[in-house]
Copies of this chain bind each other. A is one copy, B any other.
Amino acid sequence: MADAEAIKRVAQRIVAQKKAGHDVVVVVSAMGDTTDELLDLAEQVSPMPPARELDMLVTAGERMSMALVAMAIENLGYEARSFTGSQAGVITTSLHGNAKIIDVTPGRIQEAIGEGAICIVAGFQGVSQDTKDITSLGRGGSDTTAVALAGALNADACEIYSDVDGVFTADPRVVPTAQRIPQISYEEMLEMAASGTKILHLRCVEYARQYNIPLHVRSSFSQKPGTWIVSEVEESEGMEQPIISGVSHDRSEAKITVVGVPDKVGEAATIFKALADAEINIDMIVQNVSAVSTSRTDISFTAPKEFGKVAVSALKKVQEKVGYDSLRYDDKIGKVSLIGAGMRSYPGVTARFFDAIASSGTNVEMISTSEIRISVIVEEDQVDAAVQAAHSEFQLDADQVEAVVYGGTGR
């Protein structure tokens, strides 16, 4: 929400849902630049603001927007009541700035709903179970609040509004012919979120799956349906589900190779123990016979670029113990992933994916797979070509399947 006008639009949208006969609970984020402005103020006051106080400060942003939304709704003639995370019963761990929701006890919300009020809840925040301090939930916190509340309230659905029309078969900035996916399973969405699709945060989808809450990701700027994320994708008009749901990519990781690791039991464990102790999230791991010596192996892994330096220094500390030869660090890489629940029963998918990538002139550096995903690491400037090739290979382009999306005759 950018300003007062945006808040009034949001209020109209909420009232429309209420008019349609639904009980409505809305989770709001802060307006426009509010959070950044508050962080900027904090920085002016203290170079290293204490996390507890930073949470006190930034959670004021949602508090302002929730009160304004409630006012705007009342101005349209409907009863509205706003609640802070704490008032809404969002109980969290006490890790300020990145707290996790432990439980939601929405007694006050239920009471207000019972009285016919529309409830407006501040997203991104809760109250810690131990210290009763105000906490913020970190990235994806508003969406996660919405899903957790929907779970606790046994809601029919949870709608997530953003500036995009839904989840697409690929990033439309890379593949202009990418299309909105009408329905996708939790598992596929989790794989997409984990492999670079930024629409929803992983935590939020995990919550939705856990409580089996249908999610509807849609645009706050239009009335068009978006993407439904559900446990079982409905088969439309007797047609089978598509093999592939989409292609996602991620440029946020770096590849680190530990060259010449002695081929002995426990060496890999030592390496990954050192990385775990430094709290580095590892994504893909590949082990090869080393180019240096046949009695040695190379171990490559990827991790977020922001942890690159920490990872390298953690590994240098165990170089003597492990006895590896050297480290190679490459942050000019990208990950391209093909996601689809249908690929389980189609063994040819992997081959078609590699073919497509090869025909785009892209070299594959690492591979990892799950039941419903294949990911490859390629050079950073070949990501777009690889994504486009895969998208086209699996007939996801709009000109090929337009009838499916808008006519409902295919798929």
A-side residues, CB < 8 A to B, are 4, 7-8, 11, 38, 41-42, 44-50, 52-54, 56-57, 59-60, 63-64, 66-68, 70-72, 74-75, 80-82, 84, 87, 108, 132, 134
Contact = CB atoms under 8 A, between A and B. Distances in A.
Contact of A4 (B41, B52, B81): B41
A119 to B, nearest CB: 12
10 contacts: A4-B44, A45-B68, A45-B71, A52-B81, A53-B70, A53-B71, A56-B70, A57-B68, A57-B71, A60-B64
Contacts of A81: 52
Give how many copies assemble into the complex: 2
Contacts of A132: 87, 108
Contacts of A41: 4, 64, 68
Top 10 A-B pairs, shortest CB-CB distance = A4-B44, A57-B67, A56-B67, A46-B75, A46-B71, A49-B71, A60-B60, A53-B70, A45-B72, A53-B67
B75 A53 contact: no
Tell me if A's interface is mostly helix, strand, loop or mixed: helix
Contact of A48 (B7, B8, B53, B75): B75
Contacts of A63: 56-57, 59-60, 63
Contacts of A46: 71-72, 74-75
A54 B71 contact: yes
Contact of A8 (B4, B45, B50, B74): B45
Contacts of A60: 60, 63-64, 67
Contacts of A52: 81
A80 B54 CA distance: 12
Contacts of A45: 4, 7-8, 11, 68, 71-72, 75
Given A46-B74, A57-B68, 6 more contacts: A4-B41, A49-B74, A53-B74, A56-B67, A56-B82, A60-B67
Contacts of A70: 50, 53, 56
Nearest to A52: B81
Contacts of A66: 56
Contacts of A82: 53, 56
A121 to B, nearest CB: 12
Nearest to A48: B75
Given A4-B44, A75-B45, A80 B68 contact: no
